[in-house]
Amino acid sequence: MPYIHCYVVLIIMATKTEIKNEMNDWYGFELTDQQVDEFLNEHPEAIHFDTVERETFADYIAKKITGMLFPMNGDSQEYKQKFYAEMKENSKPMGYIWNLD
């Protein structure tokens, strides 16, 4: 008799609270439920929340605030300085609380 393999895939969806906590812990963003909903509506594939989803969300926020992506290791010092200056200046007026400390 042939073997029949049956796999059950359990996808655990992250809650808004978990997403908000992750973004605060990793990036210092204090997000509202509405801000999380906006991201999830534009990125329905983010049903669980791990490294890729965190980075995607961080870039999503950064793009909204500055038009730039979060700096990476290979980016110039000028890019990094410009990015952080624009984030600091524009976060609050754009409705985001960003704790740099």
For the chain, the domains span: 16-98
Specify the pLDDT at position 50: 84
Specify the pLDDT at position 12: 54
d(CA 101, CA 95): 19
Q: pTM for this one? A: 0.79
Specify the pLDDT at position 13: 66
Contact (Cβ atoms closer than 8 angstroms) between residue 83 and residue 14: no
Q: Which of 86, 23, 25, 21 is nearest to 56 (CA)?
A: 23
53-98 confidence digits (pLDDT tens):
889 999 999 999 999 999 998 999 999 999 999 999 999 999 999 8
1-51 confidence digits (pLDDT tens):
566 655 544 445 678 898 899 999 999 999 999 999 999 888 887 777 888
